[in-house]
Amino acid sequence: MTTAAAADSARPAMPAVLWPLLFGNFVIGTGVMAVPGTLNEISGSLDVSVATAGQLISAGAVLMCVGAPLCAAFVAGWDRRRLLALSMVWYALLHLACAFAPDFAWLLPLRVLALVAPAIFTPQAASCVGLLVPAEMRGRAITFIFVGWSVASVLGMPLAAFVGGTLGWRAAFGVVALLSVASAAWVWRAMPDGVKPPALSKAAWSETFRSPALMICVSVTVLYAAGQFVLFSYFAPYFKATLDITPGALSLFFMWFGAFGLLGNMVMSSYIDRIGAPRSVMIGIGLMAASMAAFPLGTNVWLAALVCVPWALGCFSSNSAQQARLVGIAPSLAAASVALNSSAMYAGQAIGAASGGWLLARGAMDWLHWAGLVGLLASMGASALATHYARRRP
């Protein structure tokens, strides 16, 4: 047995309490990605353009962007068992309300309100991991619970796309509501009482905002999220227009993308503590940029699937590594920095979806991947700068 294999076998298994957090992120990710997966159905059912339907993505992302740090401050003293379970109950009720929305004017605000839950669950689940596992397991534990987002891409988003394409988008939202109820019950049953990360003072928030290493690191997330979501938000209409893809083939494509996203996150979880979070982030972004550069080669469904493999490998793993990177730079400020990073991810989604919608409205669909590549290359530059400042931090 090699030294590396022996080290892998010697590492302790993840505590059982982390599994409901992973499942919660799966449900959160499935709900967030349900709209991109059913964008064609929403557009046709409610008689609005694809660009208008895309406002569901950008408006929801703005709410999550603003809501993550605000909620982090508001819920600082809450018991995490109650907070995380209640956030999933909220997710269930609002997705059910969305499923019964009579028109787009009702759907848009209900969808925005539903996304209060992701603004709370994902960052607060990550911020309390340090109280659930030993310090030496922190990096693995954080990337482990973010595997839920990868599983959402391999199972949840294809499920939503398939249900939406066969039974309608309302049925897809109903599935998310049912999964949210199951998640709330599991969190309530498995999480211990009394998990309360220390509340951050105004001085701690101030220190976070004044840290060049942390804030540049957060900007990395904004840039690579925007770069991805220029195109990712509009996969369904893009492939419908360019490849005449069917709903069944689209769900299989999402499953393919998600399978490699899950693989990338699992590999990252295994090796991040060895190669370091900054290098892991750079590798993930570089893989995504490679797919954007090669995207014109995807002239049929099979080639498009192959071109997207590097993107999928880096998509979720890079965000998991970013969370661990921020915690490593300043562990005492993790509650603030992780919330800001979630906010940054959603800000990037809003920027990317809005930019992609702007291009679509002007008939520039073929420019989506080039705009995405610009964002990813800028993110790589910012990541190198963040590493420089992190090395200078005491």
- pLDDT value at position 2? 45
pLDDT tens string 76-108: 778 889 999 999 999 999 999 999 999 999 999
Residue 146 structure tokens: 């973010």
Give me Rg for the CA atoms of the chain.
20
pTM of the model: 0.75
- pLDDT value at position 135? 67
Q: Give the residue from 319, 320, 139, 325 showing the smallest Cα distance to 214.
A: 325
- pLDDT value at position 9? 46
pLDDT tens string 381-390: 999 999 888 8
Residues of the chain with pLDDT under 70: 1-13, 135-136, 138-139, 198-200, 393-394
CATH H-level, domain 13-392: superfamily: MFS general substrate transporter like domains (1.20.1250.20)
Q: How far apart are CA 68 and CA 102, in angstroms?
A: 29
Cα dist from 381 to 218, 221, 264, 363, 377, whole Å? 13, 12, 22, 30, 7
- CB neighbours of residue 106 within 10 Å: 14
- pLDDT value at position 12? 61
Q: Is 5 exposed, middle or buried (0-12, 13-18, 19+ CB in 10 A)?
A: exposed
